[in-house]
Structure formats: C-alpha cells, structure tokens
Structure 1
Amino acid sequence: MAEHEEQPAEPTADATEVALEEVLDIGEMLISQVQIAIESMFRTWNLYQLLIVVGIFLVAHLLRALLGPRIRSWMASRENWPKWRMRILVVIHQRLRAIFFVGLIWLVILVMREITWPSRSYLLGIVGTLAFAWLVIVFATRLIKSPFLRKLVRYGAWTWVTLQILGLLEPAERLLDSIGFSIGEIRFSLLLLVQGIVILTVLVAMARFFTSTTAARVRANDDISPSMQVLIVKGIQIAFYGAAFFLGVRALGIDLTGLAVLSGAIGVGLGFGLQKVVSNLVSGVIILLDKSIKPGDVISLGDTFGWINSLGARYVSVVTRDGREYLIPNEDLITGQVVNWSHSNEYVRLDINFGTSYADNPHEVRRVAIDAAQSVDRVLKSRPTVCHIVGFGDSSVDYLLRFWISDPTGGLTNIRGNVYLALWDAFQENGISIPFPQREVKLLESEQVNVKMGE
C-alpha cells in the first residue's frame, strides 16, 4: 500500500526536473552565444567597426546640433500647413539624430562593401539593420495615442526585432515556453503571456484607432442626430473592442467553449449584485433610442439646471452655469421628472412679476414694460411680448410680463436680471413709480403715559 501511495508523486517530480534541466540547457546556450559574440568584438576588424559606429554617432549628433535649429525655424514659417503634416515634421525633428545615423551608417556600409570584403562590414550591417528597424518602430508606434500602450508596444517590438536580427529569437522563445504550468489541456507559460500582451495590445491599439477614426466621421455627419451619433459610436466601440478581445484570445489558442458554463454562472451572480449598474446601462440605451435628451440640451432635474455635456454608459454629465459638473445616473432621467428646455425647439417663454403705483396709468405701464423688454438683446422680437394685470395688491397694481428667448443655454437668471434692469430704467424715464409697503406707528396718549411709567 505504501508503494502504491508514493507512485503518483514520482511523475510530477520527474516532469519538474526535466523542465528545470531544459531551462538550464537553454540558458547555458544563450550565455555561450553571448560570450562568443563578446569575444568576437575584440577582433581587430570588429573593433574598427565599433569605432566607426561611434564616429558615425558623433557625426550624426553634430549634424543634429547644426541643422536642428534651422529646420525648426523653417517649420515655424509653415503656418498654413495642415496639422497632420506639422505633426509628422515634429516627430521627424525629434528623431533627427537617429535619421542621420541610419543614413550615414548605410552609406558607409555600401562604400565598404564595394572596396573591401563583406566580412569587414558585417558588424556594421547588424548595427545598421537594428537602427533602421528601431527607427521604423518609433514612427509606426506614433499612431498609438495612449502613452502607456505606445511604450509597451515600442519596447516589445524593439526586443523582438533585436532578438530576430541577432538570431536569438528561437532560443528565447524556447526558454520562455519552458517556464510555465498546465491546467487540463491548456498550457500557460511566459511565452504565452508575452504573446498575449503583445497581440492584445496591438489589437486594442488598432481597435482604438479605427474607433476614433469612425467616430470622427460619424460626428462630422450633420444628417445624424446627436443622440444617434452617441449610440452609433458606443456600438462601434463595443464591436471593435469585443472583436479585438475575441481575436486575441483565439490567436493564443485558448478555447472559450470551456468557459461558457462558468461565464453563465458569473453572469447570474453579477446580475443580482449589479442591478443598479445594469439598470443605468439599459436606461442609457433607452435615452439614446428615444432621443428624449441629447448633448447640448438644457435640462432641469430637481435643483440642478444646466446643459448636457455628454451621454455616458452609466450617467449623464450636466454642466451648470457656475461651472459645476453633475453626473446624474441614467435611471434618474428615466424615472424622474425632467424639464428639457430644448427638447422639440429652442424657444423658451419666461415670466417676471412687478408692481406699480395706483397713481400710474396701467395702459402706459403695459406699453412701457413691453418696449423695455423688447429692448434687451436676447428677447425675441419675432414672438410677441405681453404684459397683463394679474391683481390689485395692498400697495401696488400687480403685473405679469411674458417674453420669449431662443438660447436657454445662455442662462435664465441673467436674462431675467437684464429685463428687470430695463424695466427700472424705463420706469425712471417715464415717471412710473414702484411702490413698497410703508407703515406709520402712532402712539395714543394713554399708551405714552404707560410707556413713561414703565421707564
């Protein structure tokens, strides 16, 4: 029984020892190749080639110092050029030294291959190929907008190209593949991890590039409403990023069918735990489909008054007149009472109340008030401004002044204040008074005696 219990542990130990021996063998091979490369550099012609490389670098540095300011001044004079062309010039100006180095070293290589044996320019050829490949990678990765993704792809591509040119790619892949473990039929290794990072990064960068390009074209189309533009952009983002993830996982050889049951169970759990999040997501889709609000609309929700800045998957960004940005959940816009000041059109009617003295002619007051309101710039002349008597107060005749504006995004409080100011000036010019309550207090003789006694 003891022998039967110890037998399952032996294959695991043997497999570990074999994997460890394989890692050590590959490591020793890489070290030996590096040693051979270092020893070969101390040969006479290899040292000459290294000195030539150093000299070419110094010449490239001097050329950049001499021609860089002149090229920059020439770029500053190109004011009418498009932005994309100026950006290319800026990138080229930043890499002038590398460009000069690549051009000079390949010129030297071509000359040396014509006047001497190819073996005496072999090291120069490797350095020139590496420099050219690195320069191409730098220009290609400039298309990636994210600084983190750009650096990740750039350094990964540099490493791969260097190993490929030096002939160390296959041993490096074997070394990375030997470090890992297996779960069922799937083997996880450092090589798979590196490949996954590179493939997913490239696919995500491509998806982001195509998404931003397509989204820019959609937003530039005036025939599509703003809400539909947001919906189309969100759909494009989901499609491209989902395809990038799926293609990346399939490229790594990972079978997703085994994860179907697990993902279903996780989905049920998330459905119960993230009800509010799912509700906001669904509400966001409904808002985009029914076009009830769109970017640029002026809305009121409770005490919040402002215009829609952007429509997100979970919330709506509302910017108020004082610069505050409120993130309102989509569910609140679906279930709550929202005032959209510019839903069907931009016209908004505003009311202000005021009162005048009983001694003033109400017909004259109405005429002066209407003229004063229409003298304000934002008040529409095409829609009638009206003034009505709404009551006889204790000390004044009460009026209601109604006028229209077509730009609620410009604010409501400020236009009311301007109309009130215009009314004040007009009433002062026409002798119309604005009464205020006045009280007279009279003390009777008996009350004065009581007051004196109290003192």
Structure 2
Amino acid sequence: MARPMTPDELSALGSALLTTNAALELAVLGGCLLLAWALARTLRGRREDPHSVLFGRRLVDGALFPLLSLGLVLAAQHLLLAVLHLPPAVLRIAVALLLSLALIRVFVRVLRAAFPASAFVRIVERWLSWAVWIGMILWFTGVLPMLMEELEGISWKVGSDRISLRALLEGAFNAVIVLMLALWLSAAIEARLLKGRLTDLSLRKIAANATRALLLFVGLLIALSAAGIDLTALSVFGGAIGVGLGFGLQKLASNYVSGFVVLAERSLRIGDLVKVDNFEGRITDINTRATIIRAANGRESIVPNELLITQRVENASLTETCVMASTVVQVAYGTDVLKLRPKLLAALGSIERMMKDDSHSAAVHLTNFAADGLELTIWYWVPDPLNGQSNLRSEVNLAILAVLDAEGIEIPFPQRVLRRVPPAHKPPSAASQPP
C-alpha cells in the first residue's frame, strides 16, 4: 500500500470484494497465514522466551508471525498482479491489517523486553493499539493525507526558521521509531550477555548496562537528528546539563557512577551475603542507581550505590562461604564451668546443620563475671548463611537449655533492687499533743 485510496478506488474495491476473485484471494490469504505460522513455529522450536521480541511467550504474541505474514501477502499480491493480472482487493485490506498488527506487536514486545516489570507497558499497549488502528483507517480511506496538509499549514517562526506542526509530529514519530530500535537492540544484546559464557555475573551485568546506555545515547542522537534538531545546538545545553548534574542531579550522578565502580572492582557481587546499615541479606541485583538486598525473611532493601562506596559494608561471601555467630547465656555462681564446657560442645556437635571440622569448630568461653551469674558466650559457625541464621540459633539455644536442665544448672534471674518505702505520715495523737 504505497498511497492512500481515492473515493473512486474505494468504490471499486467494494465492488471487487463481491466478485469470484475475492474467494481466490481469501484462499491465497489463508495459505499465506498458514505458511507464516508454520515458519514461525519452526524457527521458534520448543523454547519459550517471554522476553523475546520475535517469539514471546506464545507464538501469536511475538512480532515474527505478523512480519512473516505481511511479507508473504505482499509477495502473493505482486504475483497475482503480474501473472493473473488480478487487481488486489482482499489482499490489499489484509496488507493494511497485517502492517498495523506488526507495528503494534513490535512496539509492545520491545517495551516489554526493555521494561519487563513495568505496569505502564499495558497502558501504552492499549493507547498504541488505538492510535495505530485509527491511523491506518485514516490512511486507507485517504483522510490522513488531508489531515497532514492541514497540519502543514499550522506553523510558527522560531528565530530564522519556520516550524510546522506536521514537521514536529513526523519528527516525534521518527524519534520514537529510532528509540524503539535502540531499545530492541540493547535488550537483545543484554540477553545475550547475561546468558554468555562469562562465569562472573557482575561482569556480564556491567557489560549489559554499559551497552544499553551507549545504544540509548546513540539512539537519542539519531532521534534528535531525525526530528530536525541540529546537533550542534546541543553544545549550548551541554553547560546547562553539566551545571544541573553538579547541583540538582549530584546524588543521581554519584549513584550512577558508583554502580559501575562497584561492578568493576568486584568487591561486591551478585549473590554475596552483605550487611549494610544493620540490614543483612543477599545481593540479588545491582542496578544503575541502587542495589537490591534481600534478607532471609523475604524483605528487600533498596540501597543507593553511593552508600556502598562511602560507608562500611560487611561482605560475608568475599573470602568464606560460612559466617560465625554467637549466643550468650548466664549460669549461677558455683557452677563447674570446666565440666560444663565439654557437655555443651557435645550437644552442639549433635546438631546436623552445625559445622564440625577442626577449623570451624564451636567454642565456649567464660566472657564476663556478671552481677547475676557467670556469662558464657558460645561461638559457632553457620555453614549456609543464605538459608537464614535464626533457625540455627534456635537449635543452639534449645541444645544449651537441654544440657542445663539435665545438669540441674539454673539460669539466674536478674536481681531486683528493693527500695525501702518510708511509712505513711500519720498526724500526732491527742495524747502526744502539747497542752
């Protein structure tokens, strides 16, 4: 469909739909759709990739099926016109419908691949579908060119140049197309990098983030050029952007650069068990602005990347896969600690999850002579801190309590400070009053 149809052509198209040639075109259209479906299914195979632009979760959700159908229908249309000298009627309508469907599928799949967790994509999909279908109907009926001519007449002068509303709309449309292509390419490259042969997930993540940022920057420059904006004029705004980053966007720029520094120096990696600002958990993702830390109880903390650079961070996974923990208990004065220690260690050794090798064995120390009793600190190693520490601490405390109950050792209560309350004031009796 190279040009819109005139009213006479629309009338001729309506008459052609009532002829016997329309049945032949319907059969050809059905064959093209069936062949496109078979080709798309063969190319897809048995894999299901919900983030794929061409395939998607289901075959009809991807962009490959409408694109293949459009190509086959265009080829069939030219073949019928060249061999049978049959002017297209049904196939011409099918081309318009398939072109609209292909545009919608490409835009939506690119947005879902670039922003998989965004709820805004559904809203954009709905409005985009309405815009594409309405625009295709206006173009097919010949109304859209007349509307564009009216928009060409709406213009205003900016400096020495005159800008029309049509030029702005066409430039915005071209910019959206270029940015969509940049997002599509960056999403495909990011998926390839994250599934690559590199064993270090942090290196793959930094390569994916850098690739997306570079492609979006190049796509933005091409989009501005397509919109008719002179790129040399951007040098005027360069100083303003630099000042804005220096003042208003200082924290944002700092977090963005800090994210690349954290990934580059590899002191913190995805999957490490860390403790930041009294929050302990496992790093699940390192984004450009913040790092996601997930605790053992399911809570997640969004930590700005600048804090990982400027504050102290405890990384339990940097050298060891296990961490040391402790619990404290008090026993009464007069308890034979030397005889109690091996019994406590034997009870701790019976716990299945406890580490029992010589380099990570448990220990019992007399750490303080408290006011209420002798304070014992039991140190032990957690072999799998990612599975949580509170459940192992509970098992350790239950084992200690069982040993103390079996030995008849009492855990002293804190002594209460009793204050002597003076008796209530009573008025002197009549006998003791002076005469």
Indicate whether the TM-score tops 0.5. yes
Preserved CA contact (<8 Å) 1:357 1:432: no
Preserved CA contact (<8 Å) 1:298 1:308: yes
**Letter paired with 1:210:** L
Written as runs of structure 1 = structure 2, the 5 A alignment for 1:95-244 is 118=86, 122-134=88-100, 136-137=102-103, 140=106, 143-146=109-112, 147=121, 174-184=149-159, 186-221=161-196, 223-244=198-219
Looking at structure 1, the residues matched to 365 and 314 of structure 2 have their Cα atoms a distance apart, in angstroms, of: 26
SS in 2 for 1:273: coil
Preserved CA contact (<8 Å) 1:356 1:433: yes
CA deviation profile, 1:227-269 (whole Å, cap 9, x unmatched) = 3333222201101111111122223443210221233234224
Looking at structure 2, the residues matched to 341 and 185 of structure 1 have their Cα atoms a distance apart, in angstroms, of: 64
Looking at structure 2, the residues matched to 425 and 222 of structure 1 have their Cα atoms a distance apart, in angstroms, of: 51
**Letter paired with 2:262:** I
CA deviation profile, 1:66-100 (whole Å, cap 9, x unmatched) = xxxxx9xxx9xxxx9432578344549xx99xx8x
Preserved CA contact (<8 Å) 1:395 1:435: no
1:319 correspondence with 2:285: no
* CA positional deviation for 1:49: 4.7
1:409 correspondence with 2:396: no
* Alignment correspondent of 1:425: 402
CA deviation profile, 1:349-379 (whole Å, cap 9, x unmatched) = 1122223345554333211211222333332
Change (3 A) 1:91 1:36: same
* Alignment correspondent of 1:368: 343
Structure 2 regions of 5+ residues with no counterpart? 31-36, 50-54, 113-120, 428-435
**Letter paired with 2:317:** S
**Letter paired with 2:271:** G
**Letter paired with 1:374:** G
Change (3 A) 1:160 1:340: same
* Alignment correspondent of 2:266: 291
Looking at structure 2, the residues matched to 422 and 193 of structure 1 have their Cα atoms a distance apart, in angstroms, of: 75
Looking at structure 2, the residues matched to 217 and 310 of structure 1 have their Cα atoms a distance apart, in angstroms, of: 18
Change (3 A) 1:37 1:214: closer
SS in 2 for 1:346: coil
Looking at structure 2, the residues matched to 135 and 338 of structure 1 have their Cα atoms a distance apart, in angstroms, of: 51
**Letter paired with 1:410:** N
Change (3 A) 1:240 1:386: same
Change (3 A) 1:131 1:223: closer
Written as runs of structure 1 = structure 2, the 5 A alignment for 1:294-313 is 294-313=269-288
* Alignment correspondent of 2:57: 87
Preserved CA contact (<8 Å) 2:17 2:90: no
Preserved CA contact (<8 Å) 2:366 2:377: yes
Looking at structure 2, the residues matched to 236 and 198 of structure 1 have their Cα atoms a distance apart, in angstroms, of: 24
Looking at structure 2, the residues matched to 251 and 440 of structure 1 have their Cα atoms a distance apart, in angstroms, of: 81
Looking at structure 2, the residues matched to 328 and 91 of structure 1 have their Cα atoms a distance apart, in angstroms, of: 36
**Letter paired with 2:259:** G
Looking at structure 1, the residues matched to 13 and 415 of structure 2 have their Cα atoms a distance apart, in angstroms, of: 107
Preserved CA contact (<8 Å) 1:156 1:198: no
**Letter paired with 1:87:** R
**Letter paired with 2:385:** P
* CA positional deviation for 1:423: 1.5
* CA positional deviation for 1:124: 3.6
1:434 correspondence with 2:410: yes
Indicate which of 292, 311, 330 corresponds to 1:336.
311
Looking at structure 2, the residues matched to 223 and 132 of structure 1 have their Cα atoms a distance apart, in angstroms, of: 40
Looking at structure 1, the residues matched to 60 and 10 of structure 2 have their Cα atoms a distance apart, in angstroms, of: 38
Q: Which structure's residues are more often helix, by fraction?
A: 1
Change (3 A) 1:405 1:217: farther
> How many residues in Structure 1 have an aligned counterpart in Structure 2?
386
TM-score (norm 2): 0.69
Larger radius of gyration: 1
Indicate which of 351, 362, 365 corresponds to 1:388.
365
Preserved CA contact (<8 Å) 2:344 2:400: yes
* CA positional deviation for 1:41: 6.4
* CA positional deviation for 1:35: 4.3
* Alignment correspondent of 1:48: 18
CA deviation profile, 1:312-345 (whole Å, cap 9, x unmatched) = 3232233334443332322233222222222333
**Letter paired with 1:379:** M
* CA positional deviation for 1:418: 2.0
Written as runs of structure 1 = structure 2, the 5 A alignment for 1:268-283 is 268-283=243-258
Change (3 A) 1:265 1:129: closer
Q: CA RMSD in A?
A: 4.8
Looking at structure 1, the residues matched to 56 and 212 of structure 2 have their Cα atoms a distance apart, in angstroms, of: 29
Indicate which of 355, 362, 374 corresponds to 2:330.
355
* CA positional deviation for 1:389: 2.6
Change (3 A) 1:345 1:215: farther
Structure 1 regions of 5+ residues with no counterpart? 1-29, 61-70
* CA positional deviation for 1:419: 0.8
Preserved CA contact (<8 Å) 2:168 2:227: no
**Letter paired with 1:433:** I
* Alignment correspondent of 1:65: none
Looking at structure 1, the residues matched to 245 and 372 of structure 2 have their Cα atoms a distance apart, in angstroms, of: 65
Looking at structure 1, the residues matched to 132 and 141 of structure 2 have their Cα atoms a distance apart, in angstroms, of: 14
